[in-house]
């Protein structure tokens, strides 16, 4: 599982840009870009608060849990010629 930061959708919904968010919050554009592209290793609470205040949202809007969908399970195969129970 990964945590995603959908900043693009949040700023676009408000008719703004990532550059606007950087200017409003004082957070560098590079830091915001790393957050939105999942390149950041973490986020501190002060940064999260500044983003939420600028966008008028909650931390739950800024952080999203991405669940990886499991691939198809391999079916258990029996060796050729093996007997099944009860036969």
pLDDT tens-digit map of 1-42: 788 999 999 999 999 999 999 999 999 999 999 999 999 999
Each domain of the chain, given as residue ranges in start order, spans 2-66
Global pTM value: 0.73
CATH of domain 2-66: 1.10.260.40
Residues 33 and 18: beta-carbon distance below 8 Å = yes
Q: What phi and psi values does residue 78 have, to the nearest 5 degrees? A: -100, 145
Q: Is the CB of residue 5 less than 8 Å from the CB of residue 37?
A: no
């Amino acid at each position: 599982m990964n945590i995603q930061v959908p900043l693009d959708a949040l700023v676009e919904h408000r008719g703004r840009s990532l550059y606007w968010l950087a200017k409003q919050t004082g957070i560098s554009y590079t830091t915001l870009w790393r957050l939105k592209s999942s390149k950041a290793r973490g986020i501190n609470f002060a940064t999260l608060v500044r983003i939420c205040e600028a966008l008028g949202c909650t931390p739950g809007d800024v952080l999203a849990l991405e669940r990886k969908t499991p691939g198809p399970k391999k079916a258990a195969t029996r060796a050729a010629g093996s007997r099944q129970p009860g036969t």
